Amino acid sequence: MNFVDQVTVAVEAGDGGDGCISFRHEKFINKGGPDGGDGGDGGNIIFEASTNQDTLANFRYKKLIKAENGSRGGINNRHGKKGKNQIILVPVGTLIYHQDQLLVDLTLNHQKQIIAKGGQGGFGNAHFISSTRQAPKFAEKGLKGQKLELKLELKMIADVGLIGLPNVGKSSLIRRISQARPKIADYPFTTLKPSLGMMDFRGLAILVADIPGLIAGASCGKGLGFDFLRHIERTKILAHIIDITSLSPVDDYLTIRHELENYQISLKNKPEIIVFNKIDLLDQLEVDQIIKNFKKQLKNQSLILKISTQSLFGLDDFKGLIYQEINKINQLQPDIEPTKETIKIINFDHLNNQTDRKFIVKKIAKNVFKVTGQDLENLVNKTDFNNSEAINRLHNLLIKRGLVNELKKQGAKEDSLIYLADHKIDFLF
């Protein structure tokens, strides 16, 4: 079982429906008013973490995921239907990237996130009626939904992390309590990458991680530990394994604690069980004396256990204690309820605030200009270029928004080429 699983997937939010151009037809009324309804918005792409999912394997075959388009507006001011959101279930612990930028880290059951936003529906012609425009014969087109290439990465979140100095018996322990089979040997740094094992106890599946031995300086990159501190951070409980035959169990313990605290303060508050291993090598009295001294010196409140992965002593107690602590934590931290509040929109480039009217004009060659800005791009994309009234309206809006002035300032002329949202627009003085 691996810690990391990766896939790429493309998502497409739904397109907005076009607005409708229509005029009322009523008996005895010669020329009815405009009654073309608005198009519906396209559906969003939403990711939701779920404990019912445990791999990203499904995505290896499903490379494109789409949400529903919004419907066109109708006559009689009928609003087009909204496109259904597409909810994509992924395992808890999934990170979502777009062009190497982390968009979200889904760490809680039912946590939801909109990743691609559906296009806005266009306004129907009824929307454009005004004192000076009694019979608008144009409507807006719906905007396209966002399309994104995503990288999904699953970082398994273990319930329990086995930590400790090299050679204390972490791998031996995980082999005894799960089906994981990491190598065991009588030298430090036998384990080079974390391995995971599922421990079944009283019907509860508990994921245990064997973390490679940490040493003093791990938090600054020494030894192998640095990369793995990250994994430890995500576990619910730490089982700190100490070799009972060590010259100084207290120093061993403090060395590791120090590294954890150096790396992430939040580790301080993570529940911990201290496990003395290899007790088969000493007699009972010695073992108890060492533990008594340990407690006295550290005035530590943590739960302490003694085990031997060799003689199997204490392994059932270990499982029972972990079970009890995990249950306690699960009760204290209920999963997020699947309410609307947990859906938030990330603010990054592709989800630009559509009410922001800023734009940028850039001269990209002699007599060629490129205009960027979400608001102006939306206006252009909503325009039906086969409809002269729609084009007129666009021109008026571009003047109102200050684009024409800005172009003039930058030296644009009648014959200049102007690009805006993949369209070539005529210069308009």
Ligand X SMILES: Nc1nc2c(ncn2[C@@H]2O[C@H](COP(=O)(O)OP(=O)(O)OP(=O)(O)O)[C@@H](O)[C@H]2O)c(=O)[nH]1
Binding mask 45-64 for Mg ion (x = CB under 5 A): --------------------
Which parts of this chain interact with ligand X (CB under 6 A)? Answer: 164, 166-172, 184-186, 188-191, 212-213, 277-278, 280-281, 308-310
Supply angle C-alpha 99, 105, 111, rounded to 5: 130
Q: Which residue from 182, 206, 177 is spatially nearest to 195, judged by alpha carbons? A: 182
Distance CA 151, CA 162 (A): 29
- Shortest distance, position 190 Cβ to Mg ion, whole Å: 5
- Shortest distance, position 316 Cβ to ligand X, whole Å: 15
Question: Quick check: 110 and 338 in contact, CB under 8 A?
Answer: yes
For ligand X, give the closer residue by CB, 10 or 215: 215
Residue 172 binds: one of ligand X, Mg ion, none (C-beta under 5 to 8 A by kind): ligand X
- Shortest distance, position 161 Cβ to ligand X, whole Å: 13
Helical residues (DSSP H) of 239-345, grouped into ranges = 249-263, 284-298, 315-332
Complete DSSP assignment for 11-72: EEPPPPPPP---B--BTTBSSPPB-PPPPPPPPPEEEEEETT---SGGGGT--EEEPPPPPP
For ligand X, give the closer residue by CB, 50 or 277: 277
Residue 308 binds: one of ligand X, Mg ion, none (C-beta under 5 to 8 A by kind): ligand X
Distance CA 266, CA 166 (A): 24
For ligand X, give the closer residue by CB, 188 or 217: 188
Distance of CA 112 to the CA centre of its chain: 9
- Shortest distance, position 81 Cβ to ligand X, whole Å: 59
**H or E element that contains 379:** helix 374-381
Distance CA 345, CA 104 (A): 10
- Shortest distance, position 168 Cβ to Mg ion, whole Å: 9
Binding mask 162-201 for Mg ion (x = CB under 5 A): ---------x------------------xx----------
Residue 168 binds: one of Mg ion, ligand X, none (C-beta under 5 to 8 A by kind): ligand X
| Residue 225, C-beta contacts closer than 8 angstroms, at least 6 positions apart | 211, 212, 213, 214, 215, 218, 219, 259
- Shortest distance, position 191 Cβ to Mg ion, whole Å: 3
Number of helical (H) and strand (E) elements in the chain, helices listed first:
8, 19
Residue 277 binds: one of Mg ion, ligand X, none (C-beta under 5 to 8 A by kind): ligand X
Site for Mg ion in 284-343 (CB under 5 A): none
What is the rounded radius of gyration, in angstroms, for the C-alpha atoms of the chain?
A: 31
- Shortest distance, position 166 Cβ to ligand X, whole Å: 4
For Mg ion, give the closer residue by CB, 22 or 171: 171
Residue 373 binds: one of Mg ion, ligand X, none (C-beta under 5 to 8 A by kind): none
Position 340: which residue type? Answer: K
Closest-by-Cβ residue to ligand X is 213
* Binding region for Mg ion (CB under 5 A): 171, 190-191
